Copies of this chain bind each other. A is one copy, B any other.
Amino acid sequence: MNKYIIKISCSDEKGLVYKISDILFKNALNIEKNNEFVDKENAKFFFRARVYGEFKETTLKQELLSSLPLDTNISIAKSRKKDIIVMATKESHALGDILIKHYSGALNANIKAIIANHEDLKELSQKFDIPFYCISAEGKTRNKHEKEVLELLKNLDIDYIILAKYMRILSSDFVKPYEGKIINIHHSFLPAFIGANPYKQAYNRGVKIIGATAHFVNNNLDEGPIIAQNVKEVNHEYSWKDMQRAGREIEKSVLNEAIDLVFDDRVFVYNNKTIIF
């Protein structure tokens, strides 16, 4: 039997859980797992259920919409592997980690293509038979380069874009059509060390813990909703190169954790923050 993920968000009011579970119950849906959360500060309600059963999506959606608040947002998605592309530059650790996981069948996604602005990762991509597109940015305006990438993306029907150490800043023109669809790994414990070379910044500041942050990309550099973070203790013996080396392991694990959560439809974005069930 098919499994579905139902995600609902709306203004909070009394009886929402009752109303939703009433409708799901009457539609003979089996709930495997459900979670809800109320953001009290903003009186906002979030609900997610993993269900199975026979039902008509449009009817169910209609019933839910008609008994829930006007601002209700519903998504009913068949549980399936997501279609993604991975963007990278030269470093292979983050991309490689995704490729290995994909290869073993443990990634809840199909990698439709890898796009890079350099040729370095071509060989690795080809080892795993993933189409690799190098779109160089050399001698091009940001606008021109992004247009070329967007052109390529148009022909690919994708759910998410994973930036696996893609070392270029994306303009808001690029980001806008893919809002909530682009996941980046930033190599610092955000909001510390926004921007370029965070390990050097961390080294210079003399921190005792370094970290990495996976987040959705929005218009402001490194300021999108945070999905996952992790850290590692360092000490004065670490040069910034040592921090970078140690940091790569954190980057891999944090990006890995974040995409697992997103591909499993467990993440809501609201108010530039994430609610994760």
Contact = CB atoms under 8 A, between A and B. Distances in A.
Contacts of A33: 38
A143 interface: no
Given A18-B24, A229-B208, A92 B100 contact: yes
Interface stretch (A68-76, A132-140, A186-194): A186-194
Given A191-B193, A207-B229, A209-B230, A18 B14 contact: no
A141 to B, nearest CB: 31
Contact of A14 (B30, B227, B273): B30
A75 to B, nearest CB: 18
Contacts of A273: 205-206, 236
Interface string A250-277: 0011001100000000000001111110
Interface in A33-47: 33-41
Interface stretch (A56-64, A101-109, A145-153, A171-179): A101-109
A6 interface: no
A67 interface: no
A100 B211 CA distance: 22
Contacts of A55: none
A31 interface: yes
A97 to B, nearest CB: 7
25 contacts: A15-B25, A17-B17, A18-B22, A18-B25, A22-B22, A32-B38, A35-B35, A39-B236, A93-B100, A96-B100, A97-B97, A99-B100, A106-B245, A127-B127, A189-B189, A205-B273, A206-B225, A206-B271, A206-B274, A208-B226, A208-B227, A209-B211, A209-B229, A233-B233, A236-B275
